[in-house]
């Protein structure tokens, strides 16, 4: 099967563009890096980076009982959303394993946009469609929507040059639909996946090239560069944002992944509620923690983690040398008895058991401007 491409694929290359390198990411031919992961990562931490994440899936959920339907399908409390607010949430299986993690945008009282992982689009659509009640319409908008992520401390400055809208009025986890960006209508959301301030900009696929080129041009003086999925992964990792397939899966619950604040059993019934309540009541058997290598080595996804006696106690879910901190760090799902801060554990790196310790997360937290509100919807 040939790889899918976003509407921006032809614009990754060009006279004034660096040599892009693309990879197969869940069936999509996506840019992993334009310059280098380090350079793109640094740009987002210090200035800004522009990501094409149009491979993400967007579904529209509409109808008089759309909210009740999403309440039943997701773990967070959709009823707390006001129009123009976004919420991070998860869909679970009855056993508490995760179908996907997603963003829910409340467009109006009976209209929602939900944004899911590219690799899960077909699975999520089927999962929702099979449970669709009368009076709710589910529409896959993925093919006709593009998504750009403008991320970094300079993001607001840059975006303000190509829109008349007052971006200060879009607080974290809020959005505005119908905003003119480079003269094209877009939904502008103050969200992201990098641990920095920034915006996710949803537009019609046909308008994406104008926004991509317009934003890149508007950001030159602030050091804006295009950034690929490589930097997106290291940025989200430092900020401890989970990636489905690594920190989350059908065998890892949101509670084990440390996402309990997005699970609201008090809101009423939802799929997975009983299992998650039972898991919480019984106490977690394992949980996700940060680890830092003491010995020389870099932890990587799927490396096994061991106790001092050699017994396996878990596995690394993501690991790398942090481009910001230059520390060899990992996220690891470990037996609960080995998850206290500063517990020593041993990572099997290519046949050698190398010492690491449990450390606090997130590894990186940006310093927020004083006037900024809370970040979680």
Question: Which chain residues interact with other proteins by CB under 8 A?
Answer: 32-33, 36-38, 230, 233-234, 296-298, 300, 320-321, 323, 328, 350
- Among residues 296 and 370, whose Cβ is nearest to other proteins? 296
How crowded is residue 29: how many other Cβ atoms within 10 Å of its Cβ?
16
Q: What is the 3-state secondary structure (H, E, C) of 321-338?
A: ECCCCCCEEEEEEEEHHH
- Among residues 41 and 286, whose Cβ is nearest to other proteins? 41
Q: How far apart are CA 188 and CA 181, in angstroms?
A: 9
- Among residues 172 and 226, whose Cβ is nearest to other proteins? 226
CB 300 → other proteins: shortest distance, Å? 6
DSSP string, 130-159: TTPPTT-EEEE-GGGEEEEEEESTTHHHHH
CB 320 → other proteins: shortest distance, Å? 6
Contact 180, 168 (CB under 8 A): no
CB 186 → other proteins: shortest distance, Å? 31
CB 349 → other proteins: shortest distance, Å? 9
CB 233 → other proteins: shortest distance, Å? 8
DSSP string, 55-93: TSEEEEEESTTHHHHHHHHBSS-GGGPPTTBEEEEEEE-
CB 310 → other proteins: shortest distance, Å? 22
Query: Greatest CA span in the chain, whole angstroms?
Result: 63
With vertex at residue 199, the alpha carbon angle to CA 40 and CA 225, rounded to the nearest 5 degrees, is 25
- Among residues 150 and 229, whose Cβ is nearest to other proteins? 229
Residue 365 exposure: Cα atoms within 13 Å on the Cβ side: 6
- Among residues 6 and 328, whose Cβ is nearest to other proteins? 328
Give CA separation, 75 vs 118, 275, 278, in Å. Answer: 20, 12, 15
- Among residues 300 and 306, whose Cβ is nearest to other proteins? 300
- Among residues 310 and 351, whose Cβ is nearest to other proteins? 351
Contact 329, 208 (CB under 8 A): no
CB 92 → other proteins: shortest distance, Å? 30
Helix (H, G, I), strand (E, B) or coil at 36: coil
CB 296 → other proteins: shortest distance, Å? 8
- Among residues 19 and 374, whose Cβ is nearest to other proteins? 19
Helix (H, G, I), strand (E, B) or coil at 199: strand
């Amino acid at each position: 099967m040939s790889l899918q491409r976003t509407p921006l694929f032809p614009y990754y290359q060009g006279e004034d563009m660096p040599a892009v390198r693309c990879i197969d990411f869940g069936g999509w031919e996506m840019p992993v890096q334009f310059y280098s992961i380090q350079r793109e990562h640094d740009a987002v931490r210090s200035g800004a980076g522009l990501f094409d994440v149009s491979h993400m899936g967007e579904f529209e959920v509409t109808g008089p009982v759309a909210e009740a339907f999403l309440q039943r399908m997701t773990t967070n409390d959709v009823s707390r959303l006001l129009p123009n607010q976004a919420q991070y949430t998860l869909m679970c299986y009855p056993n508490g394993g995760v179908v996907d993690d997603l963003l829910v945008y409340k467009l109006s009282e009976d209209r929602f946009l939900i944004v899911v992982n590219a690799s899960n689009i077909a699975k999520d659509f089927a999962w929702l469609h099979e449970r669709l009640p009368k009076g709710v319409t589910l529409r896959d908008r993925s093919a006709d929507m593009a998504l750009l992520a403008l991320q970094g401390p300079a993001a607001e400055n840059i975006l303000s040059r190509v829109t008349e809208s007052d971006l200060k009025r879009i607080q974290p986890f809020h959005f505005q639909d119908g905003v003119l960006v480079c003269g094209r209508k877009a939904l502008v959301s103050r969200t992201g996946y990098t641990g920095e301030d920034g915006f996710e900009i949803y537009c019609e696929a046909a308008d994406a090239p104008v926004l991509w080129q317009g934003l890149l041009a508007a950001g030159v003086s602030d050091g804006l560069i295009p950034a690929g999925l490589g930097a997106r992964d290291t940025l989200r990792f430092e900020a401890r944002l989970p990636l489905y397939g690594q920190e989350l899966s059908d065998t890892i619950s949101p509670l084990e992944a440390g996402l309990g604040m997005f699970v609201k059993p008090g809101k009423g019934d939802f799929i997975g509620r009983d299992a998650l309540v039972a898991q919480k009541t019984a106490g977690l058997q394992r949980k996700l923690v940060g680890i830092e290598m003491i010995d020389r080595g870099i932890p990587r996804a799927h490396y096994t983690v061991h106790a001092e006696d050699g017994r396996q106690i878990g596995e690394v879910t993501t690991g790398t040398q942090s481009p910001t901190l230059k520390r060899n760090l990992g996220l690891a799902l470990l037996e609960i008895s080995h998850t206290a801060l500063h517990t020593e554990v041993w990572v099997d790196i290519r046949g050698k058991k190398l010492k690491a310790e449990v450390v606090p997360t997130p590894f990186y937290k940006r310093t927020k401007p004083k006037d900024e509100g809370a970040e979680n919807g």
